[in-house]
Every structure is written in C-alpha cells, then in structure tokens.
Amino acid sequence: MTARGAVERIPDKLYFRIGEVGRITGLAPHVLRFWETEFPSIRPEKSKTNQRVYDRRAIETILLIKHLLYEERFTIEGARARLKELKRDKQELAAELTKATATEPKTMLVEIRDELAALSRSLRE
C-alpha cells in the first residue's frame, strides 16, 4: 500500500489499464483523462472492449508531467512546452525522467510524516 500521491514501481508488463496507471502514478483516473486532452504525448490505445490501455512509455511521460506540474510548479502550458524541449534533447529527457521518479519517495515520506503527526495530535485530544 502506498500513500496517496505516491508512486509504485512500474511492473514489467506491456499494457496497463487506467486503474493500474492510477495506482502506479498516484493519480486519479479523471486526472489522467484530463491530461490526455492537454498533452498530445499521452494517447492511450483502446482495447477491444474500448478500455484505455497505456504502455510503459506513456506511464513514464505521465510521471514526468506529474513532476513538472507538482514538483517544479509549471503551468499546464509550461509543462507542455517543457516536454517539447525535452523531446528534442534525449539526454536531458532521460535526466528529467530520473529526477521525476527519484523525487517521489521523498514526497511519500513527507506525506507519511504529516499523517503520523495528524494521528499523534488526534490521540492527544
């Protein structure tokens, strides 16, 4: 179990349904669907049953977008422009992807600390 907003490791699979992507990235399905409309690089395929299926590259892109929006505090327009820049420079893209996934455990620890502090306060009351 992960804290809300935390990232799980990406399992070694070819395709993932939207619920799995949500668990992996710590994002709600409605956020993923919205980002599909804002970022052309996120275009999941549709299965025979018309369900969205994402590949590993899409999940990595989603994690990078999440990092740009939530950690680096870009606007959606700014994140879109930054993604375009990164696609031109593959080395910088790789470094940014590493940074995006490396900062997530820190975020998770901060959330756990805050939850423990809240529990401690409620127990004292």
Q: Which helix (H) or strand (E) holds 21?
A: helix 18-25
CB 18 within 8 A of CB 51: yes
What integer best gives the mean pLDDT of the chain? 83
Domain membership flag for residue 119: yes
The domain that holds 90 is classified in CATH as 1.10.1660.10
Domain carrying residue 55: 15-124
| Average pLDDT over every residue of 96-124 | 73
39-53, 81-95, 98-112: lowest mean pLDDT where? 98-112
Residue 16 pLDDT:
94
The pLDDT tens digits of the residues spanning 57-102 come to 899 899 999 999 998 999 999 999 998 888 887 777 777 777 766 6
**pTM for this structure?**
0.69
Domain membership flag for residue 113: yes
Domain membership flag for residue 63: yes
Number of domains within the chain: 1
Domain membership flag for residue 91: yes
Token digits of residue 58: 């899409």
Domain membership flag for residue 1: no
